[in-house]
Structure 1
Amino acid sequence: MATLVLTVAGGALGGPVGAALGAALGRTVDREWLSDAGTRTGPRLTDLAVQTSSYGTQIPRLFGTMRVAGTVIWSTDLIESSSTTDGGKGQPDTTRYSYSASFAVLLSARRIRTVRRIWADGKLLRGAAGDLKSRCAALRIHDGGEAQAPDPLIASLETTGRTPAHRGSAYVVFEALQLADFGNRIPSLTFEVEADAGAVDLGSIAGDVSDGAICGTADFGLAGFSAYGSDMRGVITRLSDATGSWFVRDGGAVRWMRGPGEAAVLTDPGARPAGERGDATRRSIAAASSAADRVLVRHYDPARDYQAGVQQAVRHRCGAHRTEQIELPAVLGAVEARTLAEMALARADLGRERRRVALDWTKIDILPGSRVRLSGEPGQWHVAGWSLEAMTLILDLVRIAPPEPVAAATSGRVAAAPDLTIGATVLAPFELPLVRDELYATPQLAIVAAGQGAGWRSAALLLDDGAAGAWRPIGATALPAVIGTVANVPGTAPSALEDRRTAFEVELLHERMALTQADTDALDGGGNLALAGDELLQFAEAEQIGPRRWRLRRLWRGRRGTEHATGRQKAGDRFALLSADTVKLVGTDLSTLGRDVSVQASGVGDSKGPVEAVARIDGRSLLPPGPVHLRWRQSGEGDVVLTWARRSRLGWRWIDGADVPLGEEAERYLVSLRRGDGRSSEIEVGGPSHTIPAVERPAEPFTVAVRQIGAHGRSLPASTTIA
């Protein structure tokens, strides 16, 4: 820092000498802000890491764009809520408790533009698009303007007239934030705050924190900075030390200076000696070991979601083994931080050389902090010491480092919290076909769901099946499913052979959804089972042919008794990949058979209200599958002998080669005969065969249909035409 020493004998000064001294006195560096006497404590990076709620905590002044923790300044107690889920017929109800809280977090002691992303316990709570990842009734941002009104929630819960507006300070209010995602406690929050648009010059920062005492442009911008702590002089000192800046009094203001610029040329060292040998100029160079050979710059790295980064510069010098560490609570990219370290290392090297110059007192207008050049020598110097002794002006000069070239650097491997949009819930309810080897007593409603964005995780569900006469809660959805729509009709194919002709295409809900391959063993174990329209099918090959479009090949068609739906799909029908962890199964009342039931979902991304979908209950989860291998032959007497194979709701994999379990109260079939003239007849039989006597056989071709009779109704028919 520049110093001023006056040693003048005699009384009051007057005339031109007095005027010059008065000007010098008026233009010395302002000691209130820039004196180096004592220790100045600037902000540290760790000050921004942990959210606090302590009384008297210092609130930072934010510049540019920063990530800060903030201070909780108001909160409610935890609010408990309970919900009871109907367990269904024969099952107990389940009561679950959840907790929420409302609170306010103070962010900046100066006005801001907005709040961007928010992290909770290190995970994104609010994305770059402004979408909340957890349920919250409202999030309000108060920018700290002078016309700022009290928050309506705080005002409604506090004594009338006692709610502060916090004008001049920016804060956010969370209203009824659900805490289930955070262990039923208020999480540790950090905020990406945009205080100013674009980078902010160091001179502007210094001017703000000094309340206008410092002005000027430093030609060095920061993407973000936190002026933190009670000692604002320490903030300015840290900025000037880190960037190689200094200050000079210019008229009535203190101006920020940095790097080479307009400089006065010293051509005449004067007549008075400055050195011990009578020289007018004295030069000194400190030992190489006195300067740092390694400089570390710790900073906030935007490429690492503003987490702390470190860049270093190293110059190996003989005898030098000293490391200088610069902690700068500023947002710097890796390249900027590395360049700053290289500049600091260059200043440390050049700073070993000092000059003391003695000038005639008439040069008194060369100010402390001014740039100067020595005639006949390259480079520039700045005046670090200024004294007037016995009418001789003595200047202590320090070299000014030229700008360093931009250094190459990288932020390293970054594992940022994913910012996945949640989007609205997409719901696909349907009565579950015979997927599991279980006998159900009531219709089974399957619910698969996902979101329009890849960040969707779950939604709360309500069911209206007409049994209770109102909506009833049925818990939450299962894990996100892979769902979409049928893009082209796959055509018909036999269910007993692998379909290698069809190229079946589907359009998935969003680009982050994917399908995988499956070998024969995986398919035999139930892998890659999907519902396309009303057909259950499996696929061995899946090829992505567009951002959301997939082509499926090597298909196993008409699985689990759905061969009747093969080839009946149309473009736009639902497609859902089924697995145990993505299907929620809900039992409905028997009275729903033949009727529609409604399902309602409400998730974090459903800002427009709950999503509702309807499913038809036709009994496919209760009815036996239709018979197969229906054949006929004619006996020697002209009788028609019908035979078929029974199928069951159990034993689909047919592991031991024996007959599958019956799965019904009794084995019964309804055989229907329809003549060409429209007349029909029916007969119930107790086994997988039936004979039509020759005397009852119609003369013209006729159709025979066989249905298995189950406990809750008849199966789909197996049919054949007899000529």
Structure 2
Amino acid sequence: MSTQQILGVVGGVVGAFFGYPQLGFVVGSLVGGLLTPGEKTEGPRVDDLKVQVSTYGAGIPILYGTERIGGNVVWSTDKIEIAETTGGKGGGPENTTYRYYVHMGIVLCETPRDGSIVSIVEIFQDGKLIYDARSGIPIGSALASSENPNAYFVLYQGHADQLPDPGEEAWMGGPGSVPAYRGVVRIRMNAIECPGGRVPQFSFVLSTSSSASVEKLQIATVPKVSNEGVFAYVGIDQTLHISERESAGVYKLYQTTVGSGYSKEGATITLPARGDACVPIIGMPVTDTAVCRPAGDYSGLVSDFYAHPKWLERIDMSTGVASHLLDYEGSDANHVFRSGTGLSVAYDSLDGYFAAATVEAVSGGNVYAANPIIFRDGVVTPVADAIPGGTTLPIAIYGGVLAVLNDRGGNYYVRKYSAETLALIEEIQGPSSVGAVDTVSSALRFDATGLFAWVYLSGGAALYSVSDAGWVLLCASANNAIGQKEVSRPTTFYNGGDSMIIGPSDQTDRAYDLIRFNAVSLNSVRVKDIIADQCERAGETRFDVSDIPDTDTLIGFKLQNPASARSNVDPLLTAYAAYIVDEDGLIKFKKYQDIVSEATIVYDELGQAEDGAEPADAMPLNRAQEIDLPRSVSVSYIEPAIDYQTAAEKEVRQITEAAEDLIVELPIATSSDHAKQVAAMILFAKWRAQNTRSFKTSRKYAFLSPGDGVTVEYPRGTFRLWRITSMTDTGALCEFNVEPGDAELYMQTAVGATGYVGQDVAPLAPPTELAIVDGPIMQDADNNAGLYAAMEGYAAGWPGAELRVGDTEAALEPVGTVNNEAVIGFTETALGDFSPNVVDEINLLTVNIGNGSLASITRDVLINGRSNVAVVGVNGRLEVIKFQRAGSLGAGRYILSGLLRGLRGTEWATGTHQVNDRFVLMGVEGTLRPNFDVGSLGQSKIYKAVTKGRRADGVATQTYANTGEGLRPFSPVDLRKSISSNNITLTWGRRSRMSDSVLTTGAIPLGESVERYDVAIYSDGAFATIKRVISAYGATAVYTSADQIADFGANQTTLFVRVYQLSDAVGRGHELQATI
């Protein structure tokens, strides 16, 4: 006697719910014998580990599609302690803090057997999403992801040619000291910070079924103004957009700082009259930018390309100050460069070299390339190697290597030269070029990440990585519109390894775009492919999955621990209503909904009995108790929309006396609709199985198998489709147990929950604008050798910033943080001169403060309060003012009126103002005053304002030498003279930088260690020649008759005098100048 029934699936998902033949039908059958090993194993579970562990003997997950994995730490350093000491200078307290880091390697999953690539889709640190490579994410998240993990995560695929990680070898003793970990996908994580000494928990969404796609996202737009040339310095989250406009021979540079969702107008720079248009200096940092202004000679632009000395000057875009770079006179066409926009200038941020190259069209239509020149510290050297004929313009230089983009013979070439020896290092041939015009519109970027070329091809613009190995295409559609760049004005672009940022030219498209050329698009996995792979892993080739449709797909399926193939495929059979039969020597996987009748059994063939036995009932009913059936079925599954966490869908029977609630774990990443349909299918199947029947027939139907459909006539005259659940062949009769064969039960159309929201990578906080104010102190508590540092964000959502100061960038130390913003802007009009001590109702001042706001105050508050105090100008000519009225013009622009001028001893600066002066609203909001040693005055220091939550290494620095203006005494006032016996006595009034005690004591504080003055006597009203300096220790000095005769030859009735109060720290203060 043989029995075919359900064996070994009591704990299995499908067997428990449906009771159908699944993986173990009979002892010794193909399914039971070949897919089910003898040892005890467990199949996948919904709560399989999602954070990394470090466990010996842990299973290596098998991944199909896209799922979240924690991984197993297989290599790690001890915690690396880094001490940071701050303070201790000038007698201040010294504070040492410790930070801890760790390097580690994590095995994530098995390398796919077909050799395909596993990609990282998302990375979570302590449950927070920190990296997202998916397509369709917000622009802020895309920019943050582009900056975040690439520097310290390395993914190894574990293929047969995988080599050991060099960092691990270095730590463990050299080559051969660590394995290559072939056969597993592994991530190497470098310098992971351990807050409080705790190693953070990481989890990763991986995919074996992803594909790279190109995605274009708009970052921000800039205004279009006619008659302008455009270039830019582009960074990952901050770009300086520069428009150059010429009117009546006057060139002006208009700045706009562009970032994610913001576009902030900056100061306008008016260029000197001489010279020609500007070009960008490729390689300059975004916030330390300078442009290069070329010309034929100092008298203006010349038409002769080969004659006259050429010169270049560097214009600092933060201050507008121009500094001369070089003079150069070429001897022939190989050793010259052209003034104007046909020039490319580059800067080596690592080694300090500059380079310049050009193109020039001469009569006859021929295009000649002038060899580049390299210069540093005033030494100018041309590259002697003759560049082959063609077009040369875009250049870049980094680490002492000059890269030149050359076009000849219909191909692009990159030629590399040593900046030190000028020798040609190599030439690397690239793709086919389009033409000379398109070549000069191309661009190079050269930095620590490598050399990249943005070039025009016949099909549009493309981005390449260029190395010794050749040109590697990164993106074939890196902005197809040629109008995005201006001919003969190469710009910079940003490349982050899997994305780039490119900006506009002077055409109609005025957008800055992030082009993600490795955005991950996730693809589904066919269920039949997973089943086939599991069969092959079990050593079984006699299987057939052709009845599982291609439309049965899932998002992800993870096998965390070793288990039998039978256990592994159980959840798939449940989720997709499939079953297995042993048929024709094959293991066949079939769908319940595809049931067909294999035979028709008429009523008279039912109720068969062996000889001598009583005839059996035709088709007896077996009915389960309602109380034993489920009231509801809840299916838990992996929901991709909520970061691959567990979600649940529930189906409830509305009217029933049953009390059981059935919970089903479905460890599959799928949709809520699918999970809902599975819940409905299981609930209906359980209730349908309440009524089963059995019957006996002759051995005529011995060919039938469990799972087959059979049409039975019962009662007489009624034919119905049934499914065989088990069958026993006694040798004389066949006994069948059956249940209704309703195919519609397995084709549910239920709709699951919606509105799931997962995490987005937190957008990078806006960068910080830093304004260094080296001016008079605003309160007595600031009486030190420091200066003011005002900070504000470039856009909304700014969380505050930390100021770091040091003698070198490597020695930067934090000196304080701010949580609120200052108000920083620039003037659009020049503030006119005016005398202090009365309210200036004549001059108006228009300022642009971007996102900030200003408010008006009353006249009483203007006179007696501390509101609306601002500095106007630049360091070296700052005036402190107060304003009563602030009239808004919209878009961050205000007209200020009702001004108090020359406050805090700055009356000397009232007539020094220009358009585009700095405007800073002074107060406690967003402002720090780092203190320094008096001995450091005059020495350059580096300042860096780091937005909270941002990496400090991505922030540009400012360099400034503190002049100690806050310690400089104010000028004396009210100079008078009296004459007695031809001796002239000079007296004056003393002013103080200190003021807090005036109202309480009536005395003006000295503010210095001792009261001292220098009185300089000049020869005439030109105040150029000093006749005598009289030292005084009080507010009076005597110019004796003898000294007058010695200095002038006669006693004087009119004196030309300057009086200075002296400071021990900075020497002379501001002068009182008078003719008396």
TM-score, length of structure 1 as denominator length = 0.72
Among candidates 505, 517, 522, match of residue 848 of structure 2: 505
Do the aligned residues in 1 keep the contact of 2:868 with 2:921 (CA within 8 Å)? no
1:260 matched to 2:604? The reply is no
Q: 1:209 aligns with which of 509, 531, 534?
A: 534
Question: In the alignment, what sits opposite 2:684?
Answer: 346
Q: Which amino acid aligns with 1:195?
A: T
Provide closer, same or farther for how the CA distance between residues 221 and 74 of structure 1 changes in structure 2, counting only shifts above 3 A.
same
Q: Distance in 2 between matches of 1:108 and 1:383?
A: 40
Partner of 2:186: 171
Amino acid at match of 1:138: Y
* Residue 598 (structure 2) pairs with residue 273 (structure 1): no
In structure 1, the residue matched to 2:520 is none
Q: Does 1:226 align with 2:565?
A: no
**Aligned position for 1:419:** 762
Give the structure 2 partner of residue 396 of structure 1: 738
Residue 255 of structure 2: aligned partner: none
**Equivalent residue number for residue 597 of structure 1:** 941
- The alpha-carbon distance between structure 1 residues 280 and 183, as it changes in their structure 2 partners (threshold 3 A), is same
Measured in 2, the distance between the counterparts of 1:114 and 1:600 equals: 36
Tell me, yes or no, if structure 1 residue 4 matches structure 2 residue 345: no
Query: Is the deviation greater in 319-328 or in 295-304?
Result: 295-304
From 147, 157, 166, give the equivalent of 1:143: 157
| Partner of residue 299 from structure 1, selected from 637, 656, 663 | 637
Give the corresponding residue for 1:153: 167
Shift, 1:319, TM fit: 0.8
Q: Distance in 2 between matches of 1:27 and 1:264?
A: 27
Distance 2:767 2:579 in 1: 55
Taking a change above 3 Å as real, the CA distance of residues 243 and 687 of structure 1, as seen in their structure-2 partners, is farther
Structure 1 partner of 2:727: 386
Q: Secondary structure at the match of 1:319?
A: coil
Give 2:118's aligned residue: 113
Letter in 2 for 1:397: E
1:87 — aligned with what?
88
- 1:469-480 matches, cutoff 5 A: 472-475=811-814, 478=817
What is the one-letter code of the residue matched to 1:148?
Q
Can you list the C-alpha shifts for 1:93-136, whole angstroms capped at 9, x where unaligned?
44443332221111113435122332232234545458599899
Match of 2:196 in 1: 183
Rounded to whole Å, the distance in 1 between the matches of 2:867 and 2:552 is: 60
Please give the alpha-carbon distance, in whole angstroms, between the structure 2 residues aligned to 1:319 and 1:283: 21
Correspondences of 1:506-525 after superposition (within 5 Å): 506-507=849-850
Which residue is equivalent to 1:42?
43
- For residues 537 and 300 of structure 1, the distance between their equivalents in structure 2, rounded to whole angstroms, comes to 63
1:92 and 1:85 mapped to 2: Cα distance? 8
Aligned residues: 670
Distance change >3 Å, CA 344–CA 486, structure 1 → 2: farther
Write out aligned runs for 1:298-447 (5 A). 298-356=636-694, 361=699, 363-370=701-708, 382-389=723-730, 390-392=732-734, 394=736, 396-398=738-740, 399-400=742-743, 401-410=745-754, 416=759, 418-421=761-764, 431=774, 434-444=777-787, 446=789
Q: Distance in 1 between matches of 2:709 and 2:822?
A: 70
What's the offset of the Cα at 1:194? 1.9
Q: Per the alignment, do residues 672 and 392 of structure 1 end up closer, same or farther by CA in structure 2, a change over 3 Å counting?
A: same
Preserved CA contact (<8 Å) 1:274 1:356: no
Contact 1:115-1:191 within 8 A present in 2 as well: yes
Deviation at 1:571, TM superposition (A): 5.0
Is residue 104–residue 174 contact of structure 1 (8 Å, CA) maintained in 2? yes
How far apart are the structure 1 equivalents of 2:895 and 2:627? 73
Q: Distance in 2 between matches of 1:297 and 1:331?
A: 12
Secondary structure, aligned partner of 2:637: strand
Q: Residue 666 and residue 223 in structure 1: after superposition, are their counterparts in 2 closer, same or farther (change >3 A)?
A: same
Alpha-carbon offset, residue 474 of structure 1: 2.8
- Contact preservation (8 Å) 2:110, 2:185: yes
Separation (CA, whole Å) in 1 of partners of 2:887 and 2:569: 61
- Does the alignment pair 1:613 with 2:958? yes
Is contact 2:696-2:735 (8 Å) kept? Answer: yes
In structure 2, the residue matched to 1:691 is none
Q: After TM superposition, give the deviation of residue 487 of structure 1 in Å.
A: 6.6
1:142 Cα offset (Å): 1.2
Quick check: 1:56 aligned with 2:75? no
SS of the residue corresponding to residue 656 of structure 2 reads: coil
Q: CA deviation at 1:172?
A: 0.9
Aligned letter for 1:409? A
Q: Is the 8 A contact 1:144 1:171 kept in 2?
A: yes
| Code of the aligned partner of 1:305 | D
Partner of 1:16: none
Give the aligned residue type for 2:579: W
Q: Distance in 2 between matches of 1:657 and 1:277?
A: 125
SS in 1 for 2:571: helix
Contact 2:67 2:558 in 1 (8 A): yes
- Higher mean C-alpha displacement, 424-433 vs 284-293: 424-433
1:279, CA displacement in angstroms?
5.5
Unaligned stretches of 5+ residues in structure 2: 6-24, 134-141, 211-522, 609-613, 977-985, 1037-1050
Note the alpha carbon deviations across 1:412-433, whole angstroms, 9 max, x for none.
6x58474334798876655475
Tell me, yes or no, if the aligned pair for 2:65 and 2:208 is still in contact at 8 Å.
yes
> 1:391, 1:109 → 2: CA distance?
50
For 1:100 and 1:622, how far apart are their aligned partners in 2?
A: 43
- 8 Å CA contact retained: 1:462, 1:471: no
SS in 2 for 1:293: strand
Instruction: Report the CA distance between 1:254 and its aligned residue.
Output: 3.0
**Which amino acid letter does the alignment assign opposite residue 63 of structure 1?**
Y
**Relative to structure 1, is the Cα distance of residues 228 and 255 closer, same or farther in structure 2, using a 3 angstrom cutoff?**
farther
Q: TM-score, normalised by structure 2?
A: 0.51
In 2, the alpha carbon distance for the partners of 1:204 and 1:327 equals 22
For residue 199 of structure 1, what is the aligned residue in structure 2? 524
For the residues of structure 1 that align with 2:856 and 2:592, how far apart are their CA atoms? Answer: 68
Gaps of 5+ in 1: 6-23, 509-514, 633-640, 689-694
> Matched residues in 2 for 1:576 and 1:135: separation?
38
Counterpart secondary structure, 1:585: coil
Distance 1:367 1:172, change over 3 A: same
Q: Name the CA distance, whole Å, in 2 between partners of 1:292 and 1:541.
A: 73
Secondary structure (helix, strand or coil) at the match of 2:682 reads helix
Residue 807 of structure 2 corresponds to 464
DSSP-derived class of the 1:102 partner: strand
In the alignment, the residues of structure 1 paired with residue 29 and residue 783 of structure 2 have an alpha-carbon distance, to the nearest angstrom, of 92
Q: CA RMSD in A?
A: 5.7
2:560 aligned partner, one-letter code = Y
SS at match of 1:346: helix
- Alpha-carbon spacing, 1:434–1:457, altered in 2? closer, same or farther (3 Å): closer
- d(CA) in 1 for partners of 2:895 and 2:721? 75
2:967 alignment partner, SS class: coil
The corresponding residue for 2:74 is 73
Higher RCO (Cα < 8 Å, 6 or more apart): 1
SS of 1:478 mapped into structure 2: strand
Aligned to 2:370: none
Structure 2 letter corresponding to 1:116:
V
Does the residue aligned with 2:630 lie in a helix, a strand or coil?
coil
